[in-house]
Amino acid sequence: MSENGFEPKIVAFVCNWCSYGGADIAGNQRMNYSPNVTLVRVMCSGRVDPEFVLEALRDGADGVMILGCHPGDCHYIEGNYRTLKRYNMLKPLLKQFNIEENRVVLDWVSASEGEKFARVVQAMNERITQLGPLNWDKVSSER
């Protein structure tokens, strides 16, 4: 929690085959990372539509993470390449809504990378804490 009492709400869409495993290892090894992240397990990060991200933000998330398999290691061959394309399409959309683009991040975390999972979650928590809460009412009224 920050000095002003703000604790960010972060939603992380995690790939079933890689990133969820990384989260599991981080938990099993009792690695320290912010507990204010809600995991949404998806079969593939390529399944994460930009609308899912906007919906998470509208529903109260201050930040969203998309975590998938490393490029070239996708269980569905090219799903993470689709993720990258959708993420790149999402960036201008965030700008249209006056949402800081670093409220949404994409990263690659394999099933064996519990330490990396903990590190990227902690970094996201620190970033969002610095940005402060997302005021969706203000964002949507500025469109």
Q: Which CATH number does the domain housing residue 93 bear?
A: 3.40.50
- Please state, in angstroms and rounded to a whole number, the distance separating the CA atoms of residues 19 and 109: 5
Helix (H, G, I), strand (E, B) or coil at 68: strand
Is 60 exceeded by the pLDDT of residue 128? yes
Q: 142 and 96 in contact (C-beta within 8 Å)?
A: no
| 40 occurs within a structural domain | yes
Q: What is the CA radius of gyration of the chain?
A: 15
Q: 87 and 47 in contact (C-beta within 8 Å)?
A: no
Q: 117 and 27 in contact (C-beta within 8 Å)?
A: no
| 88 occurs within a structural domain | yes
pTM surpassing 0.85? yes
- How many domains would you assign to the chain? 1
Is 70 exceeded by the pLDDT of residue 7? yes
pLDDT at 60: 95
Q: 48 and 66 in contact (C-beta within 8 Å)?
A: yes
What is the pLDDT of the chain when averaged over all its residues? 92
Percent of the chain with pLDDT over 90: 83
| 4 occurs within a structural domain | no
| 6 occurs within a structural domain | no
